[in-house]
Amino acid sequence: MGLKPTVAFNHLGCEKNRVDTEHMLGLLVQAGYQVDANEELADYVVVNTCSFIEEAREESVRTLVELAAAKKKVVITGCLAQHFQNELLEEIPEAVALVGTGDYNRIVEVIERAEAGERVKIVSPEPTYIADETVPRYRTTASSVAYLRVAEGCDYRCAFCIIPHLRGNQRSRTIESIVAEAHQLAAEGVQELVLISQITTNYGMDLYGKPRLAELLRALGDVDVPWVRMHYAYPTGLTPEVLAAIRETPNVLPYLDLPLQHSHPEVLRSMNRPWQGQVNDDVIHRIKEALPEAVLRTTFIVGFPGETEAHVEHLLEFVERHRFDHVGVFSFSAEEGTPAYSLPNQVPQEERDRRREALMLAQQPIAWEHNRAHIGRVVDVLIEQENPATGMAIGRSARFAPEVDGLVYVIGTAPLNQIVPVKITAADTYDLFGEIVAIASPEPSLSLAR
């Protein structure tokens, strides 16, 4: 029996997509397939695509076309495969297989059938699968960081979002399953776990009949990982119980990623998020009162259909008032299949881009002020890279989430994948700069001092 074919992966999109990629890699390695980072040397290239917004779709399509031009056997997986399954198979004859978002666990079967000469299409119309701690996983992040998926899918129906159509309704893992995987990752030396799902504050609603995020956070307090970070915390789910769990669980960071999307009640109503307009200010005040050291990150969409200059001014004032640590801004992308696609009063693309630029510029001095406040302080930094040419190490403080926030550039010898004390000496809008703080050696005992 000959060697099994070599498979390479091209990962696109968010960290939820990344976890899918890691499970596919793990399943193939377990089945004896060779995995190679070099697409040119691989027999098959699996492209895990994104279809969240137009820009992501364009990147996915561009990648597929380039691989097809190179005459590679392409396996298309992920959100674009779920979204445009028939069109992709018609337009890209080099695609030997197409796999939906709820079917990536069948990747070994897909490659086997493709090897037998079949053109494979496996797309469940209603994705229901979610991997647990028993599914092999080959991590692609820095060895110090791992994303830990607590749930998949979404029960909300925001007017701009295609994700529920592509990923299905929410399905949570049990607390026991999540904690078991967290222990596995800790045993691999992971220093930071990032909890992810579409709406992490709704974790457990489908499984237990009510959100159980507070209980999950407290359970993760028993895992030997220094930092546990949470992404995608919707404001309505930040109850006093959740805030107390963050405050009272030592390894849970007071870092809250709040995808608010807008501040004006009229725009939020059009987005089908009317509940949020009533709670934004109140929740942010409650967070700051319960967690004075809280780091707040948020994302906004500008140029939503019907958004006026008055709405934009409201948003600018909102950002100025609350002074978030980190802000991401998207210009509205009209997604076919969502209610917002056909709403009247669409904002021209040029105007959407102008509004995005205005909001980003408004945030820059706020971000710089937050960073500058850390000059002179000693902060813990997780070292993830080193640059021998410059003698600098690169890492992140607890204020910076991987891949989306800033970095800390450090002078001095620092061990990789360890958290070390760093004195901050300078700052710019997005990054910090510092030097390793020497840790005093313990005094020698008399018996050793002779």
Q: What number of H helices and E strands is found in the chain?
A: 16, 19
In b/e form, how buried is each residue of 115-146, taking b as 16+ CB within 10 angstroms?
Answer: eeeeebbbbeeebebbbebebebbbebbebbb
Q: How far apart are CA 81 and CA 187, in angstroms?
A: 35
In b/e form, how buried is each residue of 161-176, taking b as 16+ CB within 10 angstroms?
Answer: bbbbbbbbebbbbbbe
Q: Residues at the annotated binding site for [4Fe-4S] cluster?
A: 14, 50, 79, 154, 158, 161
Q: Which of 196, 194, 198, 204 is nearest to 163 (CA)?
A: 198
State the amino acid at position 296 in one-letter form: L
Q: Which of 111, 84, 119 is nearest to 29 (CA)?
A: 111
Name the 3-class secondary structure at 429: coil
State the amino acid at position 267 in one-letter form: V
Q: Cα–Cα distances in Å, from 272 out to 38, 159, 212, 308, 339?
A: 44, 6, 25, 17, 9
Q: Residues at the annotated binding site?
A: 14, 50, 79, 154, 158, 161
Token pair of 58 as six digits: 């364009």
Instruction: Tell me the β-bridge partners of 395.
Output: 383, 408
